[in-house]
Amino acid sequence: MRFTVSAPHDTPKLLVLAVDDEPPGLAQLKHCLEANAHVGRVLPAVDASEALRLLGSDDEYIRARKQRGLPPVDAVFADINMPGLSGMEMSRVFASLNPAPVLVFVTGHSEEAVEAFDLGAVDYVLKPARQERIDKAVSRVVEKIEAASGRRRPSDSDRGRDDEVIPVELAGTTKLIPRSSVRWVEAQGDYARLFTTEGSHLVRIPLAQLEERWAKAGFVRIHRSFLVSLPLITELRMGQGGYQVVIGNEEKVLPVSRRHTRALKDKLVGSSRLG
């Protein structure tokens, strides 16, 4: 049985660029994308050079999009390891466009997931491409475009569908950690340690970058070294040396710096968590 995603009648169809140097992989990716109700047209390219030529061509759809102030395509689904210009190098070119298309990587290699996250990719799909997995990636593309255009604002009820994944390296393999599983984050130099219910993971992302990216998802800075999921704060109390917060059922206690106390109290009051 094929799983497809129904597109709302008022949602514009997506123009998608699919890039893969392996013909079977490109054919499968194109097939999965065309089977998704959100996708209107797929432009296939066998390498980065052809992809760049397509975006600079006089194609009527691309020309019309540029005249309307839109990126040349809505999204790019690209392999990473390709001859000549790699998918990662090509995506740096796409990411520098203003406005830029949404990036998704579809690859048989997981070791570059961290760099893909740094480029702002919304998803990282491992081959072989499956219809259900491509549908999920397309949904993330749609949500990113709608959020950027102001047509949709994420709510608590659908936050799970808009959940960002964070690639972490574990013993030579890459594991994708959903943001919703992160309870708090601790700065460790230019890195950050994510604490989940299952343990902790070190990622090559500064805490300040996560603070900016996750603010709309309910994460708040309570200290120069700590970022916390606001809904998981069960108590704000005075301890030795200043205020502290208690996180969830595990009763983890974290310090609150003086400079962040006022803002944290305001956020707690605003979310009806503090009397």
pLDDT value of residue 179? 86
Q: Which fold would CATH assign to domain 14-149? A: Rossmann fold (3.40.50)
List the one residue out of 85, 88, 84, 120 whose CA is nearest residue 102. Answer: 120
Q: Where are the domains of the chain?
A: 14-149, 165-272
> What are the b/e assignments for 61-98, b being 16+ CB within 10 Å?
ebeebeeeebbbbbbbbbbbebeebbbbebbeebbeee
Helix (H, G, I), strand (E, B) or coil at 65: helix
Question: What residues have CB less than 8 Å from 56, skipping those under 6 apart?
Answer: none
Q: What is the pLDDT along the chain (275 residues), one digit of tens a residue?
A: 333 344 444 557 999 999 999 999 999 999 999 999 999 999 999 998 899 888 888 778 888 888 888 899 999 999 888 877 777 788 888 888 888 899 898 887 665 555 666 667 788 888 888 999 999 899 989 988 887 766 544 444 444 445 677 877 666 566 778 888 899 999 998 889 999 877 888 888 889 989 988 988 899 999 999 999 998 888 888 887 789 999 876 678 999 999 999 999 888 876 654 44
Q: Which of 45, 5, 2, 18 is nearest to 138 (CA)?
A: 5
Beta-ladder partners of 200: 195
3-class SS of residue 147? helix
Nearest one of 245, 192, 235, 239 to 214, comparing CA atoms: 192
According to the CATH classification, is domain 165-272 in 2.40.50.1020? yes
Here the tokens at position 22 are 């392996």
The C-alpha atoms of residue 243 and residue 222 are separated, in whole angstroms, by: 10
Looking at residue 274, its pLDDT comes to 45
Alpha carbons within 13 A on the beta-carbon side of 256: 25
pTM for the full model?
0.58
